[in-house]
Structure 1
Amino acid sequence: MDRLAALLDHFHLAASVLNAGPLCYSARHPPQEGTGFLHILTRGTMDLTLADGPPRRFGAPVLILLAAGDAHHLGPGPEGAETLCGSFRFGAGNICPIYRALPSMLVTPLDRLSGMAGLLALMQAEMREERCGRQAALDRLCELLVIQLLRYLMDAGEVESGLLAGMAHPKLVKALIALHDRPQADWTLNGLASEAGMSRARFASQFRDTLGQPPAEYLAQYRLGLAKSLLRTGVPLDAIAGRVGYSSPSALAKMFRRHAGCSPREWRRADAQAGVE
């Protein structure tokens, strides 16, 4: 039972390492909607300032996740800093259910991330040696780091509500995997409850309490995000409707207007224009 397979297949993960090694100067990161940041302090001290708060100093190895796309400022402390800093995005940006499920900020000491020790050691070895393909290797390793962080958030119970909490629930996860694997299915509340092995009433209540929204609303948002991801990759509109559970392009367009405020074609034009800019 792979909780992440369908999500990572439908919403392409791309990561890029921004700094690997000494943090020699202060770095300002402007707001980037739909983008998450990972800042890992491996040695020394580091100062982090968010747009709406005072600076915070970190003096021990730590991983900082910033998933709200907010502006922030990162700089070395008085002892200098060695860091691994990267950014990541999922297909369809902030409509991706994984991205929306991440905490806006998470600070975790590295010694708590024992399951990532091997990967972090490999990344540190890569960053300290100027070898061919270094940037590409670090970027791929950063993608793996994001996946391992998702595992950690689910397995350690770090997130109390939202999709990751649902994926950690022993029964809800069965319905979520089925929904993610087969978005084109004619899902009903009874059908999802059956996948979870729960009564209809118990499933609806537990789903709403855990994910913060009713099953039908989550399903509509998931299908919308998947449709946007497919539009972005150039899949024809006629093919998208059936793949995300709508009987026709017009039914898909109706859902798009209700949830996105525009037609699929209008969204694709605006998204392409934003990419050019």
Structure 2
Amino acid sequence: MDRLAPFFEQFTLSARMFYSGAFCGISPNLDEQAGYLHVLKEGRLTIAHPNARPIVVDTPSIVFLPRPHEHRLHASEEERTELICATVEFGTGMLNPLTASFPEPFVVPLDALPELAPTLELLFSESSSDYPGRQTALDRLFEYVLVLLFRSAMNAHLVDSGVLLGLSDDRLSKAIGAMHKQPEISWSLEQLAQISGMSRARFAAHFRKVVGITPFDYLTNWRLGVAQTMLRKGSSLKLIATAVGYTNATALTRVFTRRLGMSPSDWLTRSKPGTVKNQS
């Protein structure tokens, strides 16, 4: 079973490279309504956030900001800093539990990710070229880097909690996979525990400890994330409610509004390009 496949089926992943090469000075304010992926090839980089202490990265690393997060990059001329940067869209403004698993920012040294080395080598090589199709090649390579990063974070337990850690647990992953596959089912704690091969009490406690929320909170978030995707595709509330386990459109709207602070129609209006607000 591909444990990551449901996320890519529900949320569209796209990246756009916007900078590559030597860097010194201070960047413009990076405040797109998207995530960011910075790959530091060499040198020293300072990431400054409003109302937060600066983060200094002084070894080749990936810096992933999974949610819209205003920041600036600083580097001195003496540091000989070289990096490649991209914006990342992966369910921005939606309840995507995969990106919610990551801290803000997520910094990991490149030498801790040996499985990414061949792809990063391609990324570095393409960024220093002037071949036709360079922008498209770099965009697709950044997307692949992100897929590999998700895979490594799950397999190597690079995050402390969240669904990625849950998916790395052989027992919990069975229940999470069942919820992903059939959000329309009225899952009971007993059913989910049985799928995981655990007692009800042990399953509930273990799920909360590993994933960080209760099984039913996770199920609700997943259902609403699926509902958001269907809303963007133009599905009716009646059809969406049935698909994600609610008896009718009114029940779905009530849960949606309680969780996100606005009705489905209001969310859809605000989620159009240029108006997306982060809700993860």
Question: TM-score normalized by structure 1?
Answer: 0.91
Structure 2: which 5+ runs fail to align?
none
Distance 1:276 1:179, change over 3 A: closer
Distance 2:137 2:150 in 1: 20
Whether the 8 Å contact between 2:166 and 2:172 is mirrored in structure 1 is yes
Once the two structures are TM-superposed, the CA of residue 57 in structure 1 deviates from its matched residue by 4.3
Tell me which residue corresponds to 1:42. 41
Tell me which residue corresponds to 2:230. 230
Tell me which residue corresponds to 1:258. 258
1:120-131 to 2 correspondences below 5 Å: 120-131=120-131
Tell me which residue corresponds to 2:79. 79
Tell me which residue corresponds to 1:100. 100
1:190 and 2:207 correspond: no
Identical aligned residues as a percent: 37
Whether the 8 Å contact between 1:92 and 1:225 is mirrored in structure 2 is no
Tell me which residue corresponds to 1:90. 90
> What's the CA shift string for 1:13-33, capped at 9, x where partnerless?
121112122225531334455
Give the counterpart letter for 1:162 in structure 2.
Answer: G
Tell me which residue corresponds to 1:64. 63
Once the two structures are TM-superposed, the CA of residue 53 in structure 1 deviates from its matched residue by 4.0
Distance 1:106 1:143, change over 3 A: same
Distance 1:57 1:196 in 2: 41
Distance 1:159 1:222, change over 3 A: same
Once the two structures are TM-superposed, the CA of residue 160 in structure 1 deviates from its matched residue by 1.8
Distance 1:163 1:29, change over 3 A: farther
> What's the CA shift string for 1:138-181, capped at 9, x where partnerless?
11111111111111111111212121211111210111111112
Distance 2:238 2:62 in 1: 44
Tell me which residue corresponds to 2:18. 18
Tell me which residue corresponds to 1:219. 219
Whether the 8 Å contact between 1:94 and 1:100 is mirrored in structure 2 is no
Distance 1:43 1:130 in 2: 21
Q: Give the count of matched residue pairs.
A: 276
Report the aligned-residue RMSD.
Answer: 2.2
Whether the 8 Å contact between 2:67 and 2:92 is mirrored in structure 1 is no
Give the counterpart letter for 1:213 in structure 2.
Answer: I
Whether the 8 Å contact between 2:97 and 2:162 is mirrored in structure 1 is no
Whether the 8 Å contact between 1:13 and 1:88 is mirrored in structure 2 is yes
Tell me which residue corresponds to 2:28. 28
Whether the 8 Å contact between 1:51 and 1:70 is mirrored in structure 2 is no
1:132-147 to 2 correspondences below 5 Å: 132-147=132-147
Q: Secondary structure at the match of 2:39?
A: strand
Once the two structures are TM-superposed, the CA of residue 183 in structure 1 deviates from its matched residue by 1.2
Name which structure has the greater RCO, CA cutoff 8 Å, separation 6+: 2
Mean CA deviation greater in 156-165 or 139-148: 156-165
Q: Secondary structure at the match of 1:28?
A: coil
1:100-179 to 2 correspondences below 5 Å: 100-179=100-179
Whether the 8 Å contact between 1:49 and 1:55 is mirrored in structure 2 is yes
